Structure 1
Amino acid sequence: MRCALDIVVLGLSLSSSWGNGHATTFRALLRGVHAAGHRVTFLERDVPWYAARRDLADPDFCDLIFYTSVDELLACHSNRLAAADSVVIGSYVPQGVEVIDAVSRLLPKRLCFYDIDTPVTLSKLSHGDEEYLARRQIPVFDLYFSFSGGGTIARLRQEFGANRPLPLYCAVDLQAYRNSGARTTWDLGYLGTYSPDRQPALERLLIEPARQLPEKRFVVAGPSYPAHIRWPENVERIEHLPPSEHADFYSRQRFTLNVTRSDMIAAGWSPSVRLFEAAACRTPLISDWWQGIESFFPPGEALVIARTGGDVVTALVELDDRRREAIADAAYRRVASAHSAEARARAFVEAVENVPPRGELPATHSMRRLQA
């Protein structure tokens, strides 16, 4: 039996899912890691916008500790970070560049980066934007876990100098996401925070079909939508939906819509956690297209591809219950076999265990430092 690992994660947020997809991604992964017998500590920057909207303040699968500054992080947690078997720093951590520099100087046994925003990260770096990660820092990580697979992995290695770039897609907790048995309320629903680059697709694939099908019922859940958006009368709005209510939300839909950010579409191989969540609840999927989607959910078999509003209208009007259930069942089987929290946790732990601790590496590697 392998030894239990002591893993410390510094991430954007675990305690609050408000306005971010990081919390649910970390929750699923770390719950799976804990279930496999490993110890996890999550260090989260205490910021007011998440503090006011926490929906998981006391997780049962890890120690959640808040810090208020980089100085406090070092003063209170340096020993913990240096002693851990692996330290994982996530994307969009406040003062991320300073945090990475500070943690690297502690010479942790293994230092990893989990990029839950890889296409956005690489786009930023290509334009000289180092909001939470500096280009010079990428080669310092022993593992670079990427939200995106496909050609992005080769790009990380060849263009940015990542040592061991690996895809680590989001996953779903099958215990938390299951069909609730609730009666159908909406014909089509969408769950997602407002994003300017997603809005045109939402207009095309949900709002326009809602106008064409006034007898059908639609719903959009998520915060930050501008007041000027004109929602049809048959589109219900929910400002924020905590993860504890996601499963029931999906279960009440005949179909759920997935809309992908433009950077993710350009990169391909970047599945949203919403796809896995809805599939786990056996809700049929309608999604825009991006390269690689067929490896997760074969179109026509496990989901419906919609390039136009007409494609959505056709699905809502012409697909009978038997066909919908067949699509939902195929998607569920895919998720249960390959995209559960347990499956993703196994891949994560195996990747970490395959990297020797820095004390066991050649001196030239273990003495590596960040360049100023």
Structure 2
Amino acid sequence: MKLVVLGLSLSSSWGNGHATTFRALLSSFARRGHEVLFLERDVPWYAAHRDLPNPDWCRLDLYPDLPALDAWADEVAAADAVIVGSYVPDGIAVGRWAQQTARGVTAFYDIDTPITLAALARDDCAYLSRDLVPGYDVYLSFTGGPTLRRIETEFGAPAARELYCSVDAAAYAPQDVPKKWDLSYLGTYSDDRQPTLDKLLIEVARRAPERRFVVAGPQYPGAIDWPANVERIEHLPPAEHAGFYSASRMTLNVTRADMIAAGWSPSVRLFEAAACGTAIVSDRWDGLGNLLAPDREIVLADTAEDVLAALARDTDALGRAARARILSNHTADHRAAELERHITERVTAQREEPVDA
């Protein structure tokens, strides 16, 4: 089939988790024999940090503004499926254009579902509106569990389907590198994640000055008081992620408040770290135990004491168990097959709909 995706970014992973998610999913989808066109808004903050300007498994085109999308109208109309992603600039107008232009299946891929639904409830979502939701044939959700039912009943989606992030198993694998850090964290600064990072990494670093820590990611305020044993890396391109995780005895997973409240919202970093065989310590949320078994494949922590105790464990055994679980269920190949099924399901449903007399 031919798939057109209008997403936040494919070319740049700077300050967002969307690019790595799309790269893993769509490269695997293309390997299944499908044709992919990705349309990305050309914005200066990504233009200055492009780490995949020319993917060899899909066509990537940049457009300067909303009216310029008309140049791709014929291709969108001819596509078997068109996906609009969350956080796309002018996403409401882009979504309306896609629904009016496409003749095949239309889908919204929400990599930020709890944040999106909270914003929709307040009527201040910048990239999706309530009236657009029923117009998408399928709502592909980063969040599973009870949220799927809510998307259908409260917001009117014809079909809400789980489509978690995933990992490119070829790009994320254990590397034979020296262990540089006892505990790492990789993520862009977020106000609602910072208290957990303070508690589960910065406080731990203060209490364990003999151990080594690192926080990688942009946009952290200059006022943060980093302990001397916490290294800072401003930006870590995806090509260096596997080496980063492999150099970490453990890595920390921190979840945004809206996603904790919804549950069933795994971060792409969770899958990537596990695929590298790195032991993970995480905050708690409903559904996490369905992905990785607590105490055997992941450590759940509420306090600095919990993290200190985790660092004293056999982290190699935890990492091996997590890697085996993720490779058996959550690679990009698994997710691409799921996407194909979701699209095919909606194509079949459309063909079976009764024709008005």
TM-score, normalization: structure 2? 0.98
Picking from 9, 27, 31, the partner of 1:31 is 27
Aligned counterpart, 2:319 = 328
Aligned-pair distance for 1:6?
0.3
| Residue in 2 that maps onto 1:196 | 191
**Cα displacement string for residues 99-147 of structure 1 (whole angstroms, at most 9, x for unaligned residues):** 1111211142110010000000000011111300011110111110000
Equivalent in the alignment of 2:152: 157
Equivalent of 1:71 in 67, 73, 92: 67
- Among 47, 61, 68, which residue is 1:51 paired with? 47
**Contact (CA 8 Å) 2:79, 2:102: kept in 1 or not?**
no
The 3-state SS of whatever aligns with 2:107 is strand
The 1:214–1:108 alpha-carbon spacing in structure 2 relative to 1, beyond 3 Å, is same
User: Quick one: distance in 2 between partners of 1:226 and 1:247?
Assistant: 26
Q: Which residue of 2 aligns with 1:61?
A: 57
Q: Which residue matches 2:279?
A: 284
User: What CA distance in whole angstroms lies between the structure 1 residues aligned with 2:125 and 2:215?
Assistant: 33
- Deviation (angstroms), 1:30: 0.3
Match of 2:339 in 1: 348
Which amino acid counterpart does residue 159 of structure 1 have in structure 2?
A: E
Please tell me the root mean square deviation across aligned C-alpha atoms, in Å.
1.3
Q: State percent identity of aligned pairs.
A: 53
Alpha-carbon distance in 1 for matches of 2:198, 2:349: 50
Mapping for residues 1-372 of structure 1, pairs under 5 Å: 5-74=1-70, 76-316=71-311, 318-319=312-313, 323-356=314-347, 360=351, 362=353
SS, match of residue 302 in structure 1? coil
Gaps of 5+ in 1: 366-372
Paired residues of 1:297 and 1:303 also in contact (CA < 8 A)? yes
* Cα separation, 1, equivalents of 2:340 and 2:303: 41
- Consecutive unaligned residues of structure 2, counting only runs of 5 or more, are none
Deviation at 1:360, TM superposition (A): 3.7
Q: How many residues align?
A: 356
Distance in 2 separating the partners of 1:364 and 1:136: 24
Quick one: distance in 1 between partners of 2:215 and 2:347?
46
Query: After superposition, what is the alpha-carbon deviation per residue over 1:74-121, rounded to whole angstroms, capped at 9, x for unaligned?
Result: 1x1000000000000000110011111112111421100100000000
Partners of 1:361 and 1:63 lie apart in 2 by: 32
Determine helix, strand or coil for the equivalent of 2:232.
Answer: strand
State the match for 1:369 in structure 2: none
Q: CA deviation at 1:356?
A: 2.0
User: 1:85–1:357: 8 Å Cα contact kept in structure 2?
Assistant: no
Q: Structure 2: which amino acid aligns with 1:56? A: L
